[in-house]
Structure 1
Amino acid sequence: MSGSAVSLPSVWAPFDDTDADVMLRSSDGIDFWVYKVVLAKASSVFRDMFTFPDTATKRQVVELTEKANTLEHLLCLCYLVQRLRFASLKAIALVLEAAKKYAMVSVTITLGDALLRFKSTEPLRVYALAYTHALTDVARASAARSREDP
């Protein structure tokens, strides 16, 4: 097998609407065409960003530090386009960090529910993530679960 990398799409579906008014570009070069109004409703950071006058005649491009997979999860939670199942706590942690960075409170709360799925297998890691992100109920539940382990 050769060492060639898997080619990523340049635009990530379902965030490929050509009439979207802003493009978010991931750190690995994937574009997400989204609507300012949706982002502004989900994030006070984006809401504040979009209050500045836009003098560009083309679609505004915002380059972000997150990778495409993290942005996809974050945007799916904002757009409610699909129910997400996270394969790992690491994936949840990355999206939690992005949600915190962009002040997406409702996304953070939703991710708390995703954390609970891992409380029986990794209660201490779940506790640490929940505590760090002020998800008090999740932290309590995972702390209680960790006391049950022998």
Structure 2
Amino acid sequence: MPNGELFAVKKLWKTGKDEETVDFFASEIQIMGHIRHQNIVKLLGYCSNKSLKLLLYSYVPNCNLQQLLQNNRNLDSEIRYKIALGSAQGLAYLHRDCLTAILHRDVKCNNILLDSKYEAYLADFGLAKLTNSSNYQQAVSLVAGSYGYMAPSK
């Protein structure tokens, strides 16, 4: 921006199924528009037309946790603890402190952003679900999230 403020822009790509892009877009706006927590990236606004869907977020200036771990395997325990605590506090807020609990459904190293002081921010709420939504039961029975990992079943 002219005043030097930076934003992060997330562009949602069309997958061939217009409804799918709209669902992720609407879901992320609905969920992110109502929550504020120090360990969750802030949605500042959105732009949409027939061919383009953009989400505007506060800029987190460092990297994500996966990039940090790939480039620096010798992190001291204090930084590791700070990242783990920030991530846990963000998840605890979603599960306990929101008026309606939110399931992220895609927590992974790529979706934990880190600022220059290694504060952790949960990001990418495209697969998230409100526990009181009409499609919650259907959503929790579907496999969602990243390839290569599936949570253990009971």
Relative to total residues, which structure has the larger helix share, 1 or 2? 1
After TM superposition, the score normalised by the length of structure 2 is 0.27
After TM superposition, the score normalised by the length of structure 1 is 0.27
Relative to total residues, which structure has the larger strand share, 1 or 2? 2
